[in-house]
Amino acid sequence: MKPSRFDYHAPTTLDECIALLSRYGDDAKLLAGGQSLVPMMNLRLAVPEVVIDLNRVAGLASVRRDGDTLVVGAATRHHDVAMSASVREAVPLLAEAAAQIGYPAIRFRGTIGGSLAHADPVSEMPCVAVAVDAQLVLRSPRGLRTVPAGEFFVTHFTSVLEPDELLVEVRFPVMPAGAGWAFVEFARKTGDFAVAAVAAQLLLDSDGRIATACLGLAGVGERPLRAVDAERLLAGAAPGEQAVAVAGEQVAATVARQHGGTDQEREYKAHVGRTLTSRAVRMACERVERSS
Amino acid sequence: MITTAVTITVNGEAYSTEVESRKLLCDFIREDLRLTGTHVGCEQGVCGTCTVLLDGQPVRSCLLFAAQLEGACVETIESLATDNEHLHPVQRGFWEKHGLQCGFCTPGMVLTAKALLEENPDPTDEQIRTAIAGNICRCTGYVFIVEAIQAAARELRERGEAVDA
């Protein structure tokens, strides 16, 4: 199908963009990479009266280091996040996840901000943002506010973004030296929507034990979740097969307890959650051991 | 604005025109420019048959509005061969290795493969399969497509070496 008629605006500055947003509010949709919005418009699931294209707004697509923070502009494309030397060095988990989004043609257009604002509970960027406690910087006519990723996502395709608000940048804590990481997902075919995904980052103490574990889960709930029970069990553990098994079992138990679907779905998601968590923790442990 | 004035370069030729905001790039290419080599399948970014190169990179032309593309360079399948005697190596690979049956997915498949080989001149079969994962073919089973892209890669490498020598 074809999209319904809309008014098209292509502002070149953030101020212009905010002015348009505050004028049209709920009637407007922001167009970044278009890899989720345009399919929805073509299917008439989204029928915005106004489309505000962010692709010509100056300064929204960039990656920079600000001390212990990696700042990624909202319009930075997945391909550029995946290939960026700064991202790979500062937050390798983010680069690894970006490389697994969709197909090459999707990654050349899709953006990190678009993916976060879309708030699909199975997608990669929300999972990583929640896992490593990224901060999302939002701009509106009222100014800037910063929201932790853990508070940004509400439910399926719903975030705390107000109709006149725009996500401008995402701030990721730089991964400490000697940490291990992994992003693993399972999809029915390469590049398809994931069934589930796990983001893991393990920080070690001076004795080589896990000091802090960050585990993000996608596809097992109505928004990306932290596997807090498994994280707690991993803290103080030695990296290795014992930790892998404990984390996997705990995630399976949590998903089995909390998942809202049918018995079959719950059982399946618990199984996938266990398997992916085990794979992610194992890979993160191997990287810890290799780098220490 | 319901319509937008744009200048888009397609296959080396600049087109200046007013487009309706909602006109998809694939429809602009097919209906306004009458370049019907770009096929349209699902119109929701899943099948990959409408893939074109935008500033050298493969993109879904059903997920872009023509109005967005002021100043952009688009290459479609028509840009590859000037006539039947002068096929692009990727096209020749598909011809010689029987990389197509009905031909519906072929334009997107060929352009995706061309972009892959420019980035990675010596891909493994697995890298080829990953690169074309977003291009769905319901005829071939992909085996001959992978062989076609490998044949093209060989030809392009040999040609590159000949130029270097």
Residue range A49-69: average pLDDT?
A: 97
Q: Are B2 and A5 in contact (CB under 8 A)?
A: yes
Low-confidence winner among A19-33, A257-271, A273-287 (lowest mean pLDDT) = A257-271
Residues of A in contact with B45 (CB under 8 A): 35, 38-39, 106
Both ends of chain A: CA-CA distance in Å? 54
Q: Tell me the CA distances in angstroms from A95 to A69, A87, A89, A252, B69, one per residue in order.
A: 15, 6, 9, 26, 28
- The backbone torsions φ and ψ at residue A64, rounded to the nearest 5 degrees and listed phi first, read -145, 160
Residue in B145, B35, B52, B60 with CA at minimum distance from that of residue B107 = B52
Ordered domains of chain A (ranges, CATH): 7-53 (3.30.43.10), 63-173 (3.30.465.10), 180-291 (3.30.390.50)
pLDDT above 80 (res A282)? yes
Element (H, E) at B146: helix B143-164
Tell me phi and psi for residue A275, to 5 degrees: -65, -45
Q: Strand, helix or coil at B63?
A: helix
Q: What is the mean pLDDT of residues B126-132?
A: 97
Strand order in the sheet with B51-54: B13-20, B3-10, B73-75, B51-54, B57-60
Q: Residue B107 corresponds to which tokens in the numbers above?
A: 């334009």
**Residue B161's CB: how many other CB atoms inside 10 A?**
9
The ipTM of this complex is 0.94
Q: Given this model, what pLDDT does residue A291 score?
A: 62
What pLDDT digit, counting tens, does each position of A168-210 carry? 999 999 999 999 999 999 999 888 999 999 999 999 999 999 9
The size of the A-B interface in CB pairs under 8 A is 92
User: DSSP states of A15-30 as a string?
Assistant: HHHHHHHHHHGGGEEE
The pLDDT tens digits of the residues spanning A135-163 come to: 999 999 999 999 999 999 999 999 999 99
Q: Is it the case that residue A290 has pLDDT exceeding 70?
A: no
Nearest to A106 among B21, B62, B134 (CB): B134
The pLDDT value recorded for residue A283 is: 98
The minimum CA-CA distance between B80 and chain A, rounded to whole Å, is 19
List, for residues B34-64, the tens digit of each pLDDT value.
999 999 999 999 999 999 999 999 999 999 9
Residue A35 has its nearest CB partner, among B22, B63, B115, at: B63
Which stretch of A263-267, B63-67, B105-109, B147-151 has the lowest confidence by average pLDDT?
A263-267
Q: Looking at residue A190, what is its pLDDT?
A: 87
% of chain A surpassing 70 pLDDT: 99
Residues of A in Cβ contact (< 8 Å) with B22: 2-6
For chain B, the domains span 3-79, 89-164
Nearest CA of chain A to the CA of B63: how many Å? 5
Residue B1 confidence (pLDDT) above 80: no
> Which residue, among A168, A164, A143, has the nearest Cα to A21 in the 3D structure?
A164
For A284, the enclosing helix (H) or strand (E) is: helix A263-291
> Chain B partners of A2 at a C-beta cutoff of 8 Å?
22, 24, 27, 43
Single-letter amino acid code for the residue at B32: D
Answer yes or no: is pLDDT of A292 > 60. no
The alpha-helical segments, DSSP class H, found in A119-211 are 124-131, 149-152
Percent of chain A scored above 90 by pLDDT? 94
Q: Which residues pair with A171 in a beta bridge?
A: A71, A135
Tokens of A182: 């992994």
Residues of B in contact with A6 (CB under 8 A): 21-22
**A contact test, residue of B6, B44, B54, B70 with most A CBs within 10 A:** B44
Whether domain B89-164 has CATH 3.20.20.10: no
Percent of chain B's residues with pLDDT above 90: 92
**Domain B3-79: top CATH class:** alpha beta
Residue B165 clears pLDDT 60, i.e. is over it? no
Closest chain A residue by Cα to residue B41: A1
Note whether A100 and A123 are within 8 A (CB). no
**Any alpha helices (H) in B5-142, and if so which ranges?**
25-27, 89-96, 106-119, 125-131
Residue pair A237/A284 in contact (Cβ under 8 Å)? The answer is no
Whether residue A116 is predicted with pLDDT greater than 80 in this model: the reply is yes
Q: Which residue of B has its CA nearest to A192?
A: B134
Inter-chain residue contact A8 with B67, CB threshold 8 Å: yes
Domains B3-79 and B89-164 share a fold: no
Q: How far is CA A225 from CA A221, A246, A258, A283, B98, in A?
A: 7, 18, 11, 20, 47
Got the DSSP string for A151-162? HHEEETTEES--
- Nearest residue, CB atoms, B134 vs list A31, A42, A105: A105
Task: Look over chain A and give the mean of its residue pLDDT values, rounded to a whole number.
Answer: 96
Burial readout A115-134 (b: 16 or more C-beta within 10 A, e: otherwise):
bbbbbbbbbbbbbbbbbbeb
3 state DSSP class of A199? strand
